[in-house]
Structure 1
Amino acid sequence: MRRFISMTIVLMAFFTSCTENKAIAQPKTSAFAKGGDVGWLPQMEATGYKFYDTDGAEKDCLQLLMDRGMNTIRLRVWVNPSDDKASGHCSKEETVAMAVRAQKIGMRIMIDFHYSDSWADPGKQNKPLAWQNHTFSELLNDVYFHTEDVLNELKKAGVTPEWVQVGNEIPGGMLWPEGSTDNFNQLAQLLNKGYDAVKTVDKKIKVIVHLDEGNNSGKFRWFFDNAQKNNVKYDVIGMSYYPFWIKTDYKENITDLANNLNDMAARYNKEVMIVEVGGVDTQEQNTYEMLAAVIKAVKAVPHKKGLGVIYWEPQGAKSWSGYALSAWREDGKPSMALDAFKEK
């Protein structure tokens, strides 16, 4: 009887272990990355927003995204953010918690450093308030230690991101005015400090440098030619692609995007990735077709240098965020546009 009980316990432990290992699936890092930036998700949930599948059943948002073929989550991190519902949060602690949650269900992780207390993009690259009066030498240390600190906290929690962005949409530089492209040598030093911090934590993490308007070859050539002249260190060229913001339909410039992806990969011998994309939430068919075309263009980059496509805030419903380029309906259900990610 005792032997039977002992054997039963062993078997139970074995099956429990197998079940747990299955629940915490390890992502396939060689697969094409299909994902979403979901920085708003914790706040949406905290304010009571509910997510539903197409059959009306309430479901976890990350599971809904996985059901539509996504395997990657991108998370922004701000230095000392406010508690503003839509333009705050995304602190180190919140980012770590969200990354752990996503990885537990088998998602791959990308971390996007804005080096600001709120949004950084082509129109604004504001220094964090705590860094406001720092000298350039101090800013170099700020970038290094902030990057290292966040990544070490992730590592302690069991998460090592596959990709890290040093800066967010930086065609004009970052940490203005010191890191402006008007002084590219200083920008290069800041980017390299971020790169060095990432590689100190884990050499396998791929560092991304990210610009907007992925269809604009001239912008990308100018920036990355200067990056090359100033010895900027990075692994991946990241692009945003939003036909809406340049007041066009994707059919007018999807070929330009494809050509630019191929050009960047060949010209600089780098991998390329669409780290932000989005379409109008009410134009589901058009957004579906745009996403399918973008995914096809990235997959077609020679030598498998096209790494993936990330939708920006697919779950960020306009009724909650006021943002019109999510892929979520007013009834709390995902748009059919996201079905584009299901394609093999």
Structure 2
Amino acid sequence: MRFTCNFLFMCSGYYKYEAGYTPEFKGAADFAGRIVHPQKWTEDIDYAGKRVVVIGSGATTVTLVPELAKQAEQVTMLQRSPTYVVSRPAQDPVANKLRRNLPAKFAYHLIRWRNVMWGMFFFQLSRRRPAKVKDLILKGVQMALGPDYDVATHFTPRYNPWDQRLCLVPDGDLFKAIREQRASVVTSEIETFTHDGIRLKDGRELAADIIVTATGLVLQVAGGLDVSVDGRSVDFANTLTYKGMMYADVPNMASAFGYTNASWTLKCDLTCEYVCRLINYMDRHNFRQCMPHNDDPTITAQPSLDFTSGYVQRSIAKMPKQGSKRPWRLHQNYALDIVSLRFGRIDDGVMQYS
């Protein structure tokens, strides 16, 4: 099947959905139970009354463990190293009160901007005073798990806050499952899978009926499409990204790509607005084509994502690059992007029209 269009807007995210990342585990073929990656979860997986080991420490893991613990006999979160985990109420009482007492649209904007400003403040505080933020997070974990829990081993990462994403657990459900001994955390490296579970490098063995490999995701550009322009294959790894949404010397194509340090949809909303402004501008001036082009030799290419997470580092070489100056530089800042994308000029001297 073939589709044609005048403008292509990719809203496919940046994950490869066919399969997640699973390292090769020694002895995996010997395990008598079932091994499943969360991206390949199926309805026939029955974990009720079973012993489940979830390998990983990221957002998927901290979401799965308390949910599985509701029915499983025992759930073990097996991690090579810890991640920062923060508890957050599933419902925002302040937001609920504002919705009850204010007009809906006004309450929505107040809540949205409160959340945006708090997120920006916390991110900047993490960058400028990482030790203080680290201490704050760890004190919260210790309070949630009790004074005797070994937070230093299981919830104290080797890196600073926001060098990787923080994991949010609604209403502290992960901590509750651990306190109630329905779930446990083991921090160690895997030596091999065995017939009955996993043997660790420290000699311990974890019995399991099901092993969930929440070991990460695979990134890709433009939904994995092979893109060419006039017969020239586009190598995204050597292509600058324009305003975080278009690509140098690729005409009439944009991608929705969100923030890594805030809500993904904040940037996607602004991108959608900008694409609409761009198309309307082209219609008003009878342009058929728009294409960002860099002719500034002083602009240097830099990695588009400044994250130490494994899934980013495995794929960063394949991702488009950001430039050292606007409009090729990614701000990761909602306030600056509002100025640039909602109110900035469409004809900025970088975008070429014909």
Tell me the TM-score normalized by structure 2.
Answer: 0.24
Query: Which structure would you say has the larger RCO, counting Cα contacts within 8 Å and 6 or more residues apart?
Result: 2
Structure holding more helix per residue: 1
